[in-house]
Structure 1
Amino acid sequence: MFATPAYAQAAGGSAAGGFAGFIPIILIFAIMYFLMIRPQQKKIKQHQAMVAALRRGDQIVTQGGVIGKVTKVKEDGEIEVEIAPEVKIRVVKSTVAQVLSKTEPAEAPKA
């Protein structure tokens, strides 16, 4: 029935002890950010830059595994891809997974 002196002293608790309980949670969120969220954001930015740089003549692979050559880049987020001679399909730009070979930009004709 009686509390021992050790329990009586521990029951008092200070205000700093409450904040110290949140430090592990804050550290977990910081580690999660640097190990998971930040690399994913970086990967998304690289993919967006790759998609924005698509040009006619680029050899691409879609997320579905279709390999083809870009024949037309449309402004509405689509590209036209030739997967076989005279066989063209429309593909959403964001589904391009990889660019296999880039074409060099055409130089402006010299006057």
Structure 2
Amino acid sequence: MFVNLLTVMLQAQPGGSPYFSLLFMVGMIGVMYFFMIRPQAKRAKEQKKFADTIAAGEKIVTTAGIHGTISRVNEDGTLKLEVGHGTFITIERSAVSMEMTAAHRKKVEGVATAK
């Protein structure tokens, strides 16, 4: 026996206003927007801005966890990354992780100030 959720809700509120249910649904959508969708879009916008502003000579960490130094920024949206002495790989700009790079920089600065 399949019970429809709407049927149960309507039976629980005999004589209730249908506008309350509509207002409740609109409120739930508003909460989802402000707590889930909006922050995620903001983070994605910041990540894109970060990826567009990186330049040659910066030390970065990719989303895959590869550490390296940018040796060249290509016009086709790729970066030439030096991962070891004389070892280069080509990656997409979007593969650079903003959070991991910031954490790496903080860690390196902490070690440098401790010495």
Cα RMSD, aligned residues only:
1.6
1:54 aligns with 2:51: no
Q: Tell me by how many angstroms 1:94 deviates.
A: 0.2
Length, aligned pairs only: 88
> Where does structure 2 lack aligned partners over 5 or more consecutive residues?
1-13, 106-115
Q: Which one has the bigger strand percentage?
A: 1
> In the alignment, residue 65 of structure 1 is paired with which amino acid?
G
Q: Give 1:18 shift.
A: 2.2
1:97 matches 2:94: no
* Cross-structure match for 2:33: 33
Gaps of 5+ in 1: 1-9, 102-111
Q: Secondary structure at the match of 1:80?
A: strand
Residue type matched to 2:65 in 1? G
Tell me the CA shift for residue 84 of structure 1: 0.2
| TM-score normalised over the length of structure 1 | 0.73
User: Normalized against structure 2, the TM-score is what?
Assistant: 0.71
Q: How does 1:12-27 map to 2 (within 5 A)?
A: 17-27=17-27
Q: Deviations over 1:22-74 (max 9, x none)?
A: 11111110000011001001100110110010100010000110000000111
What letter matches 1:77 in structure 2?
G
